[in-house]
Structure 1
Amino acid sequence: MDRQQILDLYEWEDGVCFRHPDKGALPTAVVGVIHPGADSVREVRGCADCVVAIEDMRREEAARSGSEYEPGRVGEPSG
């Protein structure tokens, strides 16, 4: 898959990237969820460059471990 095909697998909305907060609001996708308090949930959002970088890491890890790589799953619970 090329970069745009991977990005098209995600839902995008304006937000602040967890790695690039200095860029301000820009299109982001959910890359994780944290639970900072007992009753609270916060989405961790990433910009397109970060989503692609995370997908690259996932693909490389799948190749190393011999497991199947399925793009478009960043931010979903594992297991």
Structure 2
Amino acid sequence: MNSQQILDLYTWAPGVCFQHPDAGAIETTVVQELRTRLGPVEGIRACPSCILAMEARRQCLAAEAGVVYEPGHAGAPL
């Protein structure tokens, strides 16, 4: 898959990327949810460049582990 096909697997909305908070509100997607005891569930958001980096890392890890890589799950474990 190319980069745009991978990005198309995600739902995008304005938000703050966890790696680039100084960029302010940009297009992001939720990759994890942070659940606290007392507060609401908070989405941890990532921008397109972070998603592509996370997907590349997951692909390498999948190859090393000998498991099938499935794009579209950047925040999930293999």
Same fold (TM over 0.5): yes
In 2, the alpha carbon distance for the partners of 1:69 and 1:48 equals: 19
Deviation by residue 1:8-67 (Cα, 9 ceiling, x = unmatched): 000000000000000000000111111133453111000000000000010000000000
**Offset, 1:68:** 0.6
For structure 1, list consecutive stretches of 5 or more residues without a partner in the other structure. none
TM-score, with structure 2 as normaliser: 0.91
Coordinate RMSD, CA, aligned: 1.6
* Structure 1 residue runs of 4 or more that deviate by more than 3 Å after TM superposition: none
Normalized per residue, the structure richer in strand is: 1
Number of equivalenced pairs: 78
- Cα distance in 1 for residues equivalent to 2:39 and 2:28: 24
- Identity within the alignment, %: 46
Task: Report 1:1-79 matches (<5 A).
Answer: 1-38=1-38, 40-76=40-76, 78=77
TM-score normalised by the chain length of structure 1? 0.89
